[in-house]
Amino acid sequence: MMGSAGAASASFSSIRGAGPNDRIRIGVVGLRSRGSRHISYYSEIPNVEVAALCDVDESDLDRRMAEVEKKSGRKPGRFTDIRKMLEDRNLDAVSIATPHHHHALQTIWSLQAGKHVFCEKPCTHNIFESKQIVAATRKYGKIVQHGVQMRSGGPREAVEKMRQGLIGDVYLARGLCFKRRDMIGRARPEPPPPGVHYDLWLGPAPKTEFTRNRFHYNWHWFWDYGNGDFGNQGTHELDIARWGLGVTYPTKVMAVGAHFMFDDDQETPNTLNVAFEFNEGGKKKMLVMDVRHWDSHAETAREGGPDKEWPWPNTVGNTFFGSNGYLGVDGYDKYTSYIGSFSGEPLPGPGAGVRRDRKIVPGPARGNFEGDVLAQRHHQNFIDAVAANKRELLNNEIEEGAITCTLLHLGNISYRLGRSIHFDPVKLEIVGDPEATAMMTRNYRAPFVVPAKV
């Protein structure tokens, strides 16, 4: 089931040539919601020390510093610039929970400094970065885990069942992401709050005046920093859908959507439908993503069979359709399946053929796994792989993450241009569309440049 079941108390001699009582020393970058959870997860793993904290907002930084010192009795290193933190040769690993536009560059910097990396989803902000983050990982030979924790949880068993042929030939996956996202209004430019290192926060992005809407969390809805909710919450569903479908890169992508209902500062769509077509080994498959900022539980209520709930009452989930049934991953903590069969009874009358009555019966099911338990397992899996220095133990090695992120970026490019995108899954190039090709990367603001040669 899991990529690794070993405990983090295993010998860490592979890291610094030391004995089994040594600690894995980790630095956490980006300390608000997800970063605070990273700290919590690592604090529960034996022989792991949260040895450094980094954030461009000193109010968040000081709050987390106090929390770590109170719980561990040790004062971690304090940094506002990740580059300074990476100068600490005693750090073994870096855990990144910053805005999306920082992920690839901070991962590459960390690799160049000789650190292992846990990088939150999505690991890249564009397709160029998806190529570069994998190239850097291979060059420096470190352990890099993508922060999609469902790869360490219940969906693993569901995918394994489908690989074993539970629902036959899986030809279609549908990912659903309905998350309530309220309007953000309009914010005027103002000076950055005291203690906020705004130039470091902007990083690779263009220089713009500070506004509250372009800062904490709401940055997700601006193309300079985020990827909309498709690239935020939707990364989880997209990754599960691609994983379960058993595909890598698409040949065609088509997206439609808009920013409905709200008159505010948001640039990214709050409603989006993206269809991906695959042709691997001469076999066509399809993946459909449905992203919406407003959920309606009534419409998710009855589709899984008589008196059955639709497989995602939590408004996020996946359904896989095969030649012999279908399987639903409900939220992130359980799955159900329904298996179809045909009676094969002869129809009356000459030349009438054979009756194909379809009978649906419940198949294997499993649950419930709590969200924080999944995330804890995923961070544990990262530490296990670091301790053993074996990337094959990872449940979501960075190349898998980069593939999923490439799909995400292709969907957003299609939406922004308003047309279908044709993609070469071998050359990893957009075909016959120079305007779309130009959107595979961005103009980086020096010195925050993702290198063309890692």
Residue 454 falls inside a structural domain: no
Report the C-alpha gap between 300 and 314 in whole angstroms.
9
**Residue 354 pLDDT level (bands cut at 50, 70, 90):** low
Which tens digit of pLDDT belongs to each residue from 264-275? 999 999 999 999
Q: Counting runs of H as helices and runs of E as strands, what totals does the chain give?
A: 13, 16
Q: Taking the CA atoms of 412, 417, 421 and 427 in sequence, report the sign of the dihedral they define.
A: negative
- In 251-344, DSSP assigns E strands to 252-258, 271-280, 283-292, 316-322, 325-330, 334-342
Whether residues 213 and 338 share a domain: the answer is yes
107 touches 117 (CB < 8 A): yes
Q: What CATH number did the domain enclosing 22 receive?
A: 3.40.50.720
Tell me the average pLDDT across 183-188. Answer: 96
pLDDT recorded at residue 113: 98
Tell me the average pLDDT across 312-323. Answer: 78
Whether residues 134 and 159 share a domain: the answer is no
| Nearest by Cα to 241 from 333, 301, 132, 321 | 321
Whether the pLDDT of residue 309 is over 80: the answer is: no
**Residue 341 pLDDT level (bands cut at 50, 70, 90):** low
Report the C-alpha gap between 120 and 96 in whole angstroms.
6
Lowest model confidence (mean pLDDT) among 8-22, 43-57, 118-132, 379-393? 8-22
Does the N-terminal peptide bond of residue 76 adopt cis geometry, omega within 30 degrees of 0? no
Whether the pLDDT of residue 312 is over 90: the answer is: no
Report the C-alpha gap between 280 and 99 in whole angstroms.
33
Distances in Å between the alpha carbon of 169 and those of 212, 279, 397? 49, 14, 26
| Nearest by Cα to 131 from 410, 431, 421, 454 | 454
The values of phi and psi at residue 433, to 5°, are -145, 85
Q: Residue 313 has what DSSP assignment?
A: T
> In this predicted model, which residue has the larger pLDDT, 232 or 313?
232
Residue 363 falls inside a structural domain: yes
pLDDT recorded at residue 22: 78
| Nearest by Cα to 2 from 395, 300, 335 | 395
Tell me the pairing of strands 252-258 and 271-280: antiparallel
Residue 117 falls inside a structural domain: yes
pLDDT recorded at residue 330: 81
| Nearest by Cα to 51 from 19, 83, 75, 79 | 75
Whether residues 27 and 64 share a domain: the answer is yes
Residue 443 falls inside a structural domain: no
Whether residues 142 and 168 share a domain: the answer is no
Whether residues 70 and 166 share a domain: the answer is no
* Structural domain boundaries, residue 169: 155-369+404-434
The two structure tokens encoding residue 172: 């279609």
Whether residues 178 and 141 share a domain: the answer is no
Does the N-terminal peptide bond of residue 126 adopt cis geometry, omega within 30 degrees of 0? no
Whether residues 287 and 377 share a domain: the answer is no
Whether residues 22 and 125 share a domain: the answer is yes
Residue 355 falls inside a structural domain: yes
Q: What percent of the chain has pLDDT over 90?
A: 75
Which residue is it, tokens 């980006």? 30
**Residue 308 pLDDT level (bands cut at 50, 70, 90):** very low
101 touches 203 (CB < 8 A): yes
Lowest model confidence (mean pLDDT) among 6-15, 64-73, 345-354, 423-432? 6-15
Cβ neighbours of residue 307 closer than 8 Å, sequence gap 6 or more: none
Tell me the average pLDDT across 317-343. Answer: 85
Residue 292 falls inside a structural domain: yes
pLDDT recorded at residue 304: 43
Cβ neighbours of residue 294 closer than 8 Å, sequence gap 6 or more: 178, 180, 181, 261, 270
Whether residues 346 and 258 share a domain: the answer is yes
Whether residues 135 and 253 share a domain: the answer is no
51 touches 26 (CB < 8 A): yes
Mean pLDDT for the chain overall? 88
Lowest model confidence (mean pLDDT) among 65-69, 212-216, 290-294, 406-410? 290-294
Residue 429 falls inside a structural domain: yes
Whether the pLDDT of residue 1 is over 80: the answer is: no
Q: What CATH number did the domain enclosing 217 receive?
A: 3.30.360.10
Q: Taking the CA atoms of 209, 210, 214 and 215 in sequence, report the sign of the dihedral they define.
A: positive
Which tens digit of pLDDT belongs to each residue from 418-443? 999 999 999 999 999 999 999 999 99
Whether residues 285 and 235 share a domain: the answer is yes
Number of domains in the chain: 2
**Residue 100 pLDDT level (bands cut at 50, 70, 90):** very high
Tell me the average pLDDT across 26-31. Answer: 98
Does the N-terminal peptide bond of residue 434 adopt cis geometry, omega within 30 degrees of 0? no
Whether residues 170 and 299 share a domain: the answer is yes
Tell me the average pLDDT across 311-315. Answer: 50
The two structure tokens encoding residue 360: 């649906």
Report the C-alpha gap between 108 and 120 in whole angstroms.
14
Lowest model confidence (mean pLDDT) among 45-54, 200-209, 238-247, 365-374? 365-374
Tell me the average pLDDT across 327-351. Answer: 72
> In this predicted model, which residue has the larger pLDDT, 291 or 368?
291
Q: Which residues of 206-234 are buried (b: 16+ CB within 10 A; e: fewer)?
A: eeeebbebbbeebbbbbbbbbbbbbbbbb
Residue 3 falls inside a structural domain: no
